[in-house]
Structure 1
Amino acid sequence: MSSILRADPPQPLDIQAEDDRLFVRAAGRAMQVLSAFHKATGPLSLSNIAAEAQIDRSAAQRLVHTLTRLGYIRRSADDRGYLPGIRLLDHTLDLLRLDPIVQKATPVLLELRKSLRERVDLSLYDETRLIYALRMQSKRETFYASLVGHSVPTYCTAGGRAVLSQLPRAEARAILDRAPMHAFTTKTETDAAAVMRAIDEAREQGFAVICDEFVQGEIALGVAITDRDGAPLSAIHIGGSLAEWTPEAFTAKVAPLTIEAARAIMAG
């Protein structure tokens, strides 16, 4: 489940920073401890956390104790390990309520959801991946599709190809070259040249469409949201079922409304 819930970030945490005198390594190690849960499927032991954070067990013990005292880590109900603490959700709320794109997009996407009656999402651009900040569900709800913070690769998602289409072609290709490409379904395109052709098509159309590439049986359409200089900031994703839509009908219905919504957000 972890592979569909979280795409790898473009750069791993680096707490060495030998040439940065302002860098606080203790704070960096604390973030490494919190990041140890990224690929967890359940509670982690102290040894698990030390291994994932790439620090010694003694340092892990002190950091886990400190973060537990502060509410950022908690013991699991069965007392067999550690889980993230609920105080992390305070910081999630801060990001969502203060991010200008999320502020502008929320009322627009609520109206779009009423018009389309399909799943509507907003994701934030992070080079090789997109991180979902708003999730507005349709009648087909799944666990992974309801989580804010769920991240997906840019190479095989509609929103991802839409944002990459707003970059200079060489920059988009460089991002693909850095991204680990693997198949989520039998239809996932993992050839960089073929993905670039899809990105070129998205650049011409103003949107990207994928069928069966990330989720079997799903069609998704993505439109990029950019800043005033045209650099991608985020994307709107609309997801539908191929059991209910043909690709042509879905695109004809969804594309104009989604493009209009993106323009409204950028003009806000």
Structure 2
Amino acid sequence: MRTTRDDAMAALRTWSAPGRRAELLEAAWNAGETTISALAEAARISRPTVYADLRCRGIDPDQRHHQEDKLTTIAIEGMNGTEADKQAVGEGLRRYIAQHPDGRGLVEEEGRLFCLHLALYAYNRIIEATAKEEATRRDRDRALHQVEIRWEALSTAANWHAAHHTYVVAVDAARTAIDAWESAAAALMDAPAMRRGVGNDRVIEVYEQYIVGAGHPPVSTPDIIDAADEAAQLRDRLEATHARRTALAAQTLGLTEAGAR
């Protein structure tokens, strides 16, 4: 799931207009990317230049108070949506019986605990899947950016063969990163939907009352995300570009070997 931080970093990687770089660095910083090396790599500039650009935008890079909001898995009434909840449900029912010796409302309480278990399962699974998708998306975008950086470095490399090998390794790493993101995105697509309908209205009621009502942030899954299609497009572009560059590199290598004879 693409975030504001991802968009800011993508824009930073493609800056070109004079004066635009500092503005984009500020946007990336405010979106949560406060790692100087990551900003420098994305903008293709030195770390001192990043510091200077941030300061010209009124940002003190040494004061990194901004923290990206991160959702974390939760537990309520001893349950977290796993198999271990069986014990917590049993303990909860025993407490209820101790408080209501006549057993009145026991069936309803058992239903509430079961729905809370299901709601926690869905909530925590969405959080974990979202975090994995966002992390692998960032790794994917960075890997693709590295391919461009390594290719550009060939133009001025003192050791062309070593630099070309580094480029080839970067292409392979990008393939791996795309695969990892596709897997994480597919898992996010398969995560339970936290919305009413399909027979889960009671679970959503418990989610709204005991999870969101307790102050935990609401969660949701993307309505539409076609991981396979997006990954296929990325692979196609990567391979097509790599094939063209391989042909160019072969010409350069041929000229180099001819000159050495």
TM-score (norm 2): 0.26
- The structure with the largest helix share of the pair is 2
- The structure with the largest strand share of the pair is 1
TM-score (norm 1): 0.26
